[in-house]
Structure 1
Amino acid sequence: MKIRVGLDRVSWLAWPIVLVVIQQLFFPAPAGALLAGLILGLITGLVSLGMYLVFRANRVLNFTAGELGLLPAVLAVMLIIESGLSWYLSFGIGLVAAAVLGIAVEFLIIRRFFDAPRLVVTVATIGVAQLIGVGALFLPGWWGARVQSQRIEAPFDIDFEIGSRVFNANHVIALILAPLAMIAVGLLLRTTRIGIAIRAAAELPSRAAMLGIPVKGLQSIVWSVATVLGFIALFLRAGIYGLPVGGALGLLLLLRSLAALTLGRLVHLPTIIAASLALGILQEAVVWNSGSIEAEAKMGAITGVVIVVALLLRRTRGMRAEMDTSSWQNAGDTRPIAAVYRQLPVVRIGRIVAIVAIATAFAVFPSLFGTTVVVRMGLIFLFAITFMSLGVLTGWAGQLSLGQMAFAGVGAATSAWLTQRWHWDITLATLAAGTIGALASLVVGVPALRLRGAYLAVTTLAFAITVSGYFLNPRFFDWLPTGRVERNPIFGVIDWSSSRAIYYISLIAMLLAFGAVRGIRNSRTGRVLIALRDNEAAVESYGVSPVRAKLTAFAISGFLAAFAGSLVVHHQQALVVDDAQFNLLIFSGAVIGGLGSPLGAFLGSLYFNGTFYWLQGSWRLLASGIGLLGILLVAPGGLTSLWYDLRDLTLRWFGARRGIVEGDDADDLIDTTDTDEVATGEPGRDENEIEAVTPA
């Protein structure tokens, strides 16, 4: 019994020890590199601590932890470099700015989602990250600065060497200031009335509110503290590694913090801090053995594997208590017109005219615009397929995925290899790529059997970083196509090398994908996935296997994404693997368009690519950040939801002019017949049909 108690007391060190063992066995490094890794781990620990505080207060993973600290850090750096202020004064101004920024973000944005599902708040933090990141990019313009990266000088001089590694005062400041900040937060939580109230509100917010504790006000304090921690981390980073002023903050810092949180099960702070230190040491050891360029890819892959393994090995008991797993119930699903309105002549004629007009516009589009616009429109069609794959997985099944472009990349690499090396026809290569994408998606879907909500988001993001940074990196795998990808004739006779031809091929591919998705949505499989999103327990009570349903959603989603990737690589005639940051932008575009319907996928692709094509520089990120937050606040169902609302208002107006009064047969414009279909597989009947067969 005593031995078991002793093991329980040190079990929190298990994963940090595993990381250190991996470093010692595979990436041995001298003492100087290990000390540099310890400093990097302290910086990571500050960000991890901020994410931990936000999770305990809001039950949400804060994807904006780094960017919130970046904005005041850039301010402080510019005050030192451009305005000539002292280090101490600039640091103090940065602290105040960080505290104010944290309160402002919580009060103006996060608090608007106080009663929303936690997954919605998680997605909102992605929008906040994009918005704040753009602010950090524009901030140096106030001084007319154009620097891309800049280190700041320490306020005093110290230089020493450990082996071949040179350290200075900035390293010493990090070794002192980072632990002091962590200790200060610990004392705040443990010894002050505010800290006790924060911990009480985190455990039972409803009961805390009943006892008179200002839960919302405490959350503002938590966000303020988290932003201050992020600022300190990035300000220290500016002195040691340089700050990406005018550039983007990479994903490795976020990934290390997410890994530390995962290893600490999001709630055990000592494990989170120890894992942060171990991950920092591991990264510097990888850099020492591989060089900085290859180290980033290898570290991303290693961290991603660690996250997935840790989540798979953990006990499922208690996971629901750690994370609110509210479903994604705001998806913009297709809303059919009620039968009573479909009989109106103006509606029948209007639908025919709209279909003919849209078909004509798509058909004559290449004749009206130049080559550049035509090529871009074809890419919009293909991205719409990728967005629809997210609609199946997230909009229908409620599985939050932040790694969809990884499946598209797998499909692109597979298809390009088959058509260029083995000279397969594009049709066979695309089907094969879709199959490989479905299998890869199933591999990622296995954790979904045990995980949900933001846990799954971490897993898919880690998968995306691993695939894009390592497995699809020609530095490590020489089979990947690196030259021009030729468009060989389809079936040996159909030439699709011109911009007009690739436009029509992309349009046909999108229509085929949308037709297939619509057929699945109207089948029993689609109805089961929707019901699974809304109430998994109820679906299981009908005898439906949630495991099989989830894996089906992953397979369909992976096939569609890889299908799109296969055509994109031939459309672009080159295998270009975007970084993992692109996955967050793709998800934002899908949410803006509306998850769950082909119309939403097309509108999201049009918005996403349109801002990329016709907005310059950082304004693209600004459009996606503001667009995402605006849609989540105004219409969580996306642009397609706004379209349906406008259509329904118009139908009510026409119906009222013809004597159809609200509350009669047209009380509900939406057919809601899916509930009974889950168990029986038989289509339900709407209210009008029931009235028609019921005797008077």
Structure 2
Amino acid sequence: MGQFLQFAFLGLAVGAVYAVLASSLVGVYAATGIINFAQGALGLWAVYTVAALRTSGDLVLPIGRIPIGSEDSPVMMWPALIIGVASAIVWAIIAHYLVFRPLRQAPVLAQVVASVGLMLFIQALVHLRFDTDDLLALRILPDDTVEFAGAVINVSDLILAGIAIVIAALFWAYFRLTRLGVATRAGAEDELAARLVGYSPDRLAAIVWVITGAATGLIAVLASFTIGLNLTNYTFYVIPALAVALLGRLTSFGIACAAGLALGSFQAVITWLTTKDWWPDWAQAGLGDAVPFVIIVVALFLMGGRIPSRGSLGEVKMPAVRIPQIRPIPTIAVLAVVVAAILLTDGTWRFGVVTSIILALIALSLVLLTGYLGQISLASMAFAGAAGFALSKLTVNWNVPFPIDMLLAALIATGFGILVGVPALRIRGAQLAVVTLAAAIAIQGFVFNNPGITAYEGNLITDPSLFGLDLGVRDGTNLVTIRFSLLVLVVVTIATLIVMRFMAGSTGRAFLAVRSNERAAAAVGINVASTKLLGFALSAFLAGIGGCLIGYSRGQLSAGSFTVMVGLVLLAMTYVGGITSVSGAFIAGIVGPLGVGYVFLNQTLNLGEYYEIIAAAGLLLAAILNPVGIAGAFTELGDKLRARRGHATATTDDDGGTSTSLVTPTTSKAGLNA
């Protein structure tokens, strides 16, 4: 009993971070209607700011640094704490005025990707600006202990839990008892009414951003000594925080706080249980990461329809979807260019070309599901990884030949896709993004990083062969063979053409109908539930094929090939390229992680370390300024030029010339209401 209580109390430090992040998420949602995926990243910057001040004495800024102290005489604890909290507040204000305020009336997808982009941007900036390998978090809270029922409890853990409770109570008091807080809640119900009585929703939201930024920075800095410094952990603490916030329907600070503390303790108890002899080997790692996903799915599936939405002055539709048409001459021209790129390159450059081809297929799975069906998914690389690890077992353990092994592995990924897609039957929009991101983290932790599931002979993958022809990726010192490169091109081309046929046919029309209006789609006889599950299945299958090709190109897999961060960066590139077009998927493949764009940035410009921050900045700019993406911008420009040319040829001359009609490509004006 003593050990159980000791681990339960040890979890209070992380639980306090969950609780304050959850309370902050509830506050931001009440003020803006936005689920801020970057909330944990605000605390991340504050933690490293304080660590740098107390270690080297430098105040690190996004550009430059200010020496306040030195290594021999670093900044004292309380001034460093105040500066760290202030830095989180500054980031919160920047987030409000530069990112989310311009997107106040934007569709949900733009808000979600901007939030994810801000999260990626801050994390990448921390990695670039701080010496993350050498910085340590120094103690701030007392180093005392107390004994209770045979358990030794850290006083600092109790203080952190108490601070989390106090912060939740203060949030509740602000929104319930103060004039500005009540006005913020009223504006959430009817923004126009709030403006008519003299309140500015933007200013009310800015106040909430300030106090939530301060709370996030404070709890992160105070808990940093106990939970340590880690770029990924602080960033993704937002997922368990979202899990407990959703338990309170994004309205209850009390439930969010209590559930956050309980979740932190529960995860610590699970860690203790894994040390027991009777605990199964397959559950030795990652089970704690899967718990938030289960909580989120249960909470949203049971009461997703009762989570309140924010009233607004209007909504901007997503750009039209251009129905893909298979044109022989352009298709052959593109294939000729790719074949030439394969034949004329070698080594790292050919590897970049092959990786770009594979990433284009995974990006196409995002275009199909998110851009075409309107279901926001952040789990594409998780589906790809599921297929990749399944391929390892199929080829090494059971000697399944190519291409049957790839098809079976992709079907396993399809099963994961359908499982993750089930909540989409009840929820949509940002809440679905929460589910898919939580699923990606759960799959990464419980499957990819779990030796009891994926560790089999080093996760080797047998080279593909067909009719006795070796199609392996390497041949001696040759990094990527031409025959493997052509194999990848053939597989991706076939899959792309099939998907384009789907998009242009009755299945595509059903997808667009659901994307535009689910009730109207059901009224004309479309089975909305089946259509959604079909979309998740097809998307996961495509991502699974891509994951298998990644596995073949590596010869041996690791969890690092399919991290959540890689998936988010690929989403960023797909959105920048154009989330509603097949061309956008091709652009995403070119500029995706380890693709041709990355190789150029790394090898030619020697700027590879800046790739993630460039990707995040591009995502933010695309979400705010250019939601149609690069492909969409070129398409719109072409339409304008054709329209002008058609108008000019339609005029009559003195002899009574004939007029001509301007034929534009087929498009769908469906808005993304997901």
- The bucket for the TM-score relative to the shorter chain is 0.7 to 0.9
Shift in Å, 1:270: 1.8
State the one-letter code of the partner of 1:77.
A
Would the alpha carbon gap of residues 674 and 646 (structure 1) be closer, same or farther in structure 2, given more than 3 Å must change? closer
Percent identical residues = 26
Shift in Å, 1:204: 2.1
Instruction: Please give the alpha-carbon distance, in whole angstroms, between the structure 1 residues aligned to 2:160 and 2:416.
Output: 41
> Does the 8 Å contact 1:234/1:243 carry over to 2?
no
State the one-letter code of the partner of 1:97.
S
Give the aligned partner of residue 274 of structure 2.
Answer: 290
Greater shift in the superposed pair: 201-210 or 528-537 = 201-210
Confirm or deny that 1:428 pairs with 2:404.
yes
Give the aligned partner of residue 385 of structure 2.
Answer: 409
The superposition leaves residues 413-433 of structure 1 with CA deviations (integer Å, 9 ceiling, x where unpaired) of 222322223322221122222
Instruction: Please give the alpha-carbon distance, in whole angstroms, between the structure 1 residues aligned to 2:493 and 2:548.
Output: 16
Would the alpha carbon gap of residues 644 and 582 (structure 1) be closer, same or farther in structure 2, given more than 3 Å must change? same
Confirm or deny that 1:64 pairs with 2:38.
yes
Instruction: Please give the alpha-carbon distance, in whole angstroms, between the structure 1 residues aligned to 2:264 and 2:590.
Output: 40
Give the aligned partner of residue 633 of structure 1.
Answer: 624
Instruction: Please give the alpha-carbon distance, in whole angstroms, between the structure 2 residues aligned to 1:386 and 1:117.
Output: 24
State the one-letter code of the partner of 1:310.
A
Give the aligned partner of residue 277 of structure 1.
Answer: 261
The superposition leaves residues 439-494 of structure 1 with CA deviations (integer Å, 9 ceiling, x where unpaired) of 33222222211111122222222222222211334512267462432213213335
Confirm or deny that 1:318 pairs with 2:318.
no
Instruction: Please give the alpha-carbon distance, in whole angstroms, between the structure 2 residues aligned to 1:409 and 1:566.
Output: 8
The superposition leaves residues 583-616 of structure 1 with CA deviations (integer Å, 9 ceiling, x where unpaired) of 3222222212212332111101212234544345
Greater shift in the superposed pair: 361-370 or 533-542 = 361-370
Would the alpha carbon gap of residues 483 and 674 (structure 1) be closer, same or farther in structure 2, given more than 3 Å must change? closer
Shift in Å, 1:660: 6.7
Decide which of 186, 189, 192 is 2:172's aligned counterpart. Answer: 186
Would the alpha carbon gap of residues 204 and 148 (structure 1) be closer, same or farther in structure 2, given more than 3 Å must change? farther
Would the alpha carbon gap of residues 557 and 356 (structure 1) be closer, same or farther in structure 2, given more than 3 Å must change? closer
The superposition leaves residues 656-691 of structure 1 with CA deviations (integer Å, 9 ceiling, x where unpaired) of 665579xx866673434789xxxxxxxxxxxxxxxx
* Equivalences, count: 626
Confirm or deny that 1:330 pairs with 2:325.
no
Please give the root-mean-square deviation of Cα atoms over the aligned residues, in Å.
3.1
Would the alpha carbon gap of residues 148 and 638 (structure 1) be closer, same or farther in structure 2, given more than 3 Å must change? farther
Q: How do 1:275-674 residues align onto structure 2 when only pairs under 5 Å count?
A: 275-290=259-274, 297-312=286-301, 314-315=302-303, 317-319=305-307, 321=309, 330=318, 333-334=321-322, 357-477=333-453, 480=456, 482-493=458-469, 495-498=471-474, 499=480, 500-577=482-559, 578-609=562-593, 610=595, 612-613=598-599, 614-615=601-602, 616=607, 618-652=609-643, 655=646, 658=649, 669-672=664-667
Give the aligned partner of residue 188 of structure 2.
Answer: 202
Shift in Å, 1:355: 5.6
Instruction: Please give the alpha-carbon distance, in whole angstroms, between the structure 1 residues aligned to 2:149 and 2:51.
Output: 30
Would the alpha carbon gap of residues 414 and 95 (structure 1) be closer, same or farther in structure 2, given more than 3 Å must change? closer
Instruction: Please give the alpha-carbon distance, in whole angstroms, between the structure 1 residues aligned to 2:473 and 2:125.
Output: 42
Instruction: Please give the alpha-carbon distance, in whole angstroms, between the structure 2 residues aligned to 1:332 and 1:425.
Output: 42
Confirm or deny that 1:104 pairs with 2:98.
no
> Does the 8 Å contact 1:43/1:237 carry over to 2?
yes
> Does the 8 Å contact 1:589/1:604 carry over to 2?
yes
Would the alpha carbon gap of residues 332 and 232 (structure 1) be closer, same or farther in structure 2, given more than 3 Å must change? farther
SS in 2 for 1:476: helix
Confirm or deny that 1:241 pairs with 2:233.
no
Shift in Å, 1:645: 2.3
The superposition leaves residues 180-199 of structure 1 with CA deviations (integer Å, 9 ceiling, x where unpaired) of 33333233223222212222
Shift in Å, 1:628: 0.5
Give the aligned partner of residue 11 of structure 2.
Answer: 37
> Does the 8 Å contact 2:510/2:521 carry over to 1?
yes
Instruction: Please give the alpha-carbon distance, in whole angstroms, between the structure 2 residues aligned to 1:588 and 1:173.
Output: 39
State the one-letter code of the partner of 2:511.
L
Instruction: Please give the alpha-carbon distance, in whole angstroms, between the structure 2 residues aligned to 1:481 and 1:60.
Output: 45
Confirm or deny that 1:253 pairs with 2:233.
no
Shift in Å, 1:203: 2.4
Give the aligned partner of residue 92 of structure 1.
Answer: 82
Instruction: Please give the alpha-carbon distance, in whole angstroms, between the structure 1 residues aligned to 2:609 and 2:347.
Output: 26
State the one-letter code of the partner of 1:450.
R
SS in 2 for 1:482: helix
State the one-letter code of the partner of 1:87.
M
Give the aligned partner of residue 655 of structure 2.
Answer: none
State the one-letter code of the partner of 1:410.
A
Instruction: Please give the alpha-carbon distance, in whole angstroms, between the structure 2 residues aligned to 1:191 and 1:673.
Output: 48
TM-score by length of 1: 0.83
> Does the 8 Å contact 1:40/1:280 carry over to 2?
yes
> Does the 8 Å contact 1:417/1:481 carry over to 2?
no
Unaligned regions of 5+ residues in structure 2, if any? 58-73, 475-479, 653-658
> Does the 8 Å contact 2:401/2:464 carry over to 1?
yes
Instruction: Please give the alpha-carbon distance, in whole angstroms, between the structure 2 residues aligned to 1:517 and 1:412.
Output: 21
Would the alpha carbon gap of residues 480 and 432 (structure 1) be closer, same or farther in structure 2, given more than 3 Å must change? same
State the one-letter code of the partner of 1:131.
F
Shift in Å, 1:644: 0.9
State the one-letter code of the partner of 2:613.
L
State the one-letter code of the partner of 1:447.
P
> Does the 8 Å contact 1:384/1:604 carry over to 2?
yes
Shift in Å, 1:519: 0.4
Would the alpha carbon gap of residues 655 and 163 (structure 1) be closer, same or farther in structure 2, given more than 3 Å must change? same
Unaligned regions of 5+ residues in structure 1, if any? 1-23, 338-347, 676-696
Greater shift in the superposed pair: 104-113 or 202-211 = 202-211
Instruction: Please give the alpha-carbon distance, in whole angstroms, between the structure 2 residues aligned to 1:556 and 1:88.
Output: 54
> Does the 8 Å contact 1:120/1:328 carry over to 2?
no
Instruction: Please give the alpha-carbon distance, in whole angstroms, between the structure 1 residues aligned to 2:563 and 2:667.
Output: 41
SS in 1 for 2:249: coil
